[in-house]
């Protein structure tokens, strides 16, 4: 899991049936980030058990809900945190600094 996080520049971990996961990917698509991020459904990982993936992510982030968003190996938050960062412009700053990409939106 750590290698996946470190080797994927902009990643969203989600679980089946997660309403906030759908909301976040929809928000990212609306702001023009389509194809800029990778979405990983932890129930579909081939080489790791779902429980082990959940445990690793919860230990790594100290978060207890999904989605979990990472940029260049750093956990930046879940739906509520990232939505707030988008509203205040700080998420755009993170993406510009870390990945040299940006978006525009009126939230």
Segment 22-79, tens digit of pLDDT: 999 999 999 889 899 999 999 988 888 888 888 999 999 999 899 999 999 999 999 9
Question: Is there a contact between 62 and 69 (Cβ–Cβ < 8 Å)?
Answer: no
How many Å separate Cα 98 from the centre of its chain?
14
89: left (phi over 0), alpha (psi -120 to 50) or beta: left
Percent of the chain with pLDDT over 70: 97
Is the whole-model pTM more than 0.75?
A: yes
Query: The dihedral of CA 65, 77, 74, 38: what is its sign?
Result: positive
Euclidean distance between CA atoms 81 and 76, whole angstroms: 8
The mean per-residue pLDDT over the stretch 14-24 comes to: 96
**What Cα–Cα distance (Å) separates residue 63 from each residue in 75, 78, 94?**
10, 8, 20
pLDDT (mean) for 2-25: 95
Local confidence band at 106 (pLDDT 50, 70, 90 cut-offs): low
């Amino acid at each position: 899991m750590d290698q996946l996080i470190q080797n994927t520049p902009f990643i969203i971990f989600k679980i089946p049936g997660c309403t906030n996961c759908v909301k976040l990917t929809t928000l990212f698509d609306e702001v023009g980030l389509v194809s800029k991020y990778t979405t990983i459904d932890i129930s579909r990982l081939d080489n790791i058990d779902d429980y082990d993936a959940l445990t690793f992510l919860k230990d790594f982030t100290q978060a207890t809900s999904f989605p979990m968003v990472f940029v260049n190996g750093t956990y930046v938050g879940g739906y509520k945190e990232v939505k707030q960062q988008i509203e205040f412009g700080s998420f755009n700053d993170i993406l510009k600094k870390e990945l040299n990409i940006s978006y525009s939106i009126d939230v």
